[in-house]
Each structure stands twice: as structure tokens, then as C-alpha cells.
Amino acid sequence: MIHSVPICLPHLVSHTSRSGGSILLTIHTLNCGSLCPMVPSVIAPAMVCHCLLIEGPGGLILVDTGLGTQDLLHPMRRLTPLFLLAAHPRLSPEETAIARIRALGHDPGDVRDIALTHLDLDHAGGISDFPEATIHLHRAEHEAMVGGDLRYRRAQWAHGPRWALHEPDGERWMGFEAVHPLPGCDDVLLVPLQGHTAGHSGVAIRTGSGWLLHAGDAFFHHRQLLPEPSAPPGLALFQRLSDHDPGRRRHNQARLRELALAPDSAVRIVCAHDPVYLEGGA
């Protein structure tokens, strides 16, 4: 499906940074799903599915997957008519994570691990394109899925992926509790940020100048991290309607704001759907 609204993002937005720390990581920023929401004047003229590809010491690590090839082939079953109507995704094969990875010159079979912020369809749709990868997820998110939460699309993991569930304990990191590194890579952390969903998490990656925190859908618009937070009214309404636990979401959003505004903060925070972060802004 080709979108008719002219305000959409370029096909490929990718830039690279080198990290220091204990190991050398290369991080690629990918848009794995352009969205052109209905009523753009009150939601956003364009949104993205912001994913990260990390060249780790033992292979490739993907942070979120956006929309996958099967979503494009079976959009009504895997993405739902409501999502297609409200988000109006571009459904472009070259925007899938597997196509982005090939375009970067990598073998998708080298994707060893996928860290998911949560299981909503616009984040987990691509996991079936990487059947050999281990899927890292907070245990509470997996339990909500197994418990039959209707917000999730079971068809997206019908291939039976190998789950690695992160327990609700762990270390402290930048004021956040129960943080776990991915096994074998201490420079990539799963950071619980519940509220949007039951087990929503961020993913922190050590860079040469500090940390990059992909906060998933813990916030939707860059202005929500400003001292006087705000968001387009339609986006704020969608956020409230999609909250699993509004109080926890607001609490975690406030903690992210505090971290972003700290004068000595060495953490760059991005969210999944605001295109400003793909362009290196905010």
C-alpha cells in the first residue's frame, strides 16, 4: 500500500557512531516503518518505527524490529484494520529491518539477539524475519502476552522464537532499578520502564560519550522531556488510551525527563516514533 499523504520520511535514515567503553560497538539508527497518522494536525504529520542495529562482539543485536515482511504480506491479520486506518503505515519492503540490514551489507542471519522494548505490533512485527535470534524481553511483558492480552498479535510470534526473559530484579542504573545486561554484552542493558505495557522496557547502549537509551513508547514526543512537557493533543490522547498503567507511565516519563534535563547527564534518550530522533535532533 502506497500512502497518499505527501508528508512521509525518506526511505532510509541511517547513521553510525563508534563507541568506547569495554568493547567497540557500532550503532546504526534505522526507520523500520513510516507511519502517516490520520488527522496529522492533532497527532503528528509523520511518525517512524525507530530501531537500532548494534554490531556487537559476537554478532548483530537489533533493538526493536518495526514492521516485518510478513506484516506487509498479511496486513489485515497481523496489523489489524484499526492500525492500518489510524497509523496508515507505508508498508514498504525496503523499510523492514531485514532489508535495512542487507542494505548495510550485513547478513540478516548474523542477528544473534533482539531486544524488544515491548510486544506491540509496531515493535515486534519483524521478529519472524530472524527466526534464529534470541528475543530478550521483560518477563512481565511475556506473561501479559501468554495471558492473552488482546493488544498483542500472536501471529507475529507463531514461528516459536527463543525467548530470554529478564526477571524483575537486577542492578541499578542511572536511578532505574532491576536493570539487566544482555548475556555476553555488558554494554547493552534492558531497563524496565513499565506503564505503556505491563513489561515495557528501554534499551541502553554504552557509547563513546556516555549512553544511548532507546525508551520505546515510554514517551511519544520530544517535547515530553522538556521542563514544561507537552505533546500534540491527539498524540497525548493516544498515549492515554494505550496505557496499561497510566500512573506508572507518568512516573517513568518523569524519571526520563529528570535524567534528560540533568546538567551532567551522559544519556541521550530517544523514543520509538518521533522522527526528530532519526534526524539526530532533540
Contacting residues toward Zn ion, per CB under 5 A: 122, 217
Q: Nearer Cβ to Zn ion, position 112 or 249?
A: 249
Find the shortest distance in angstroms from Cβ 1 to Zn ion.
19
> In the structure grid, which three cell numbers stand for residue 100, read together?
535495512
Find the shortest distance in angstroms from Cβ 18 to Zn ion.
28
Q: Residue 72 CA to chain centroid, in angstroms?
A: 19
Q: Which residues contact 211 (CB under 8 A, 6 or more apart)?
A: 174, 204, 205, 266, 267, 268
Find the shortest distance in angstroms from Cβ 138 to Zn ion.
16
Q: Nearer Cβ to Zn ion, position 84 or 104?
A: 84
Q: Nearer Cβ to Zn ion, position 104 or 236?
A: 236
Q: Nearer Cβ to Zn ion, position 187 or 217?
A: 217
Find the shortest distance in angstroms from Cβ 271 to Zn ion.
9
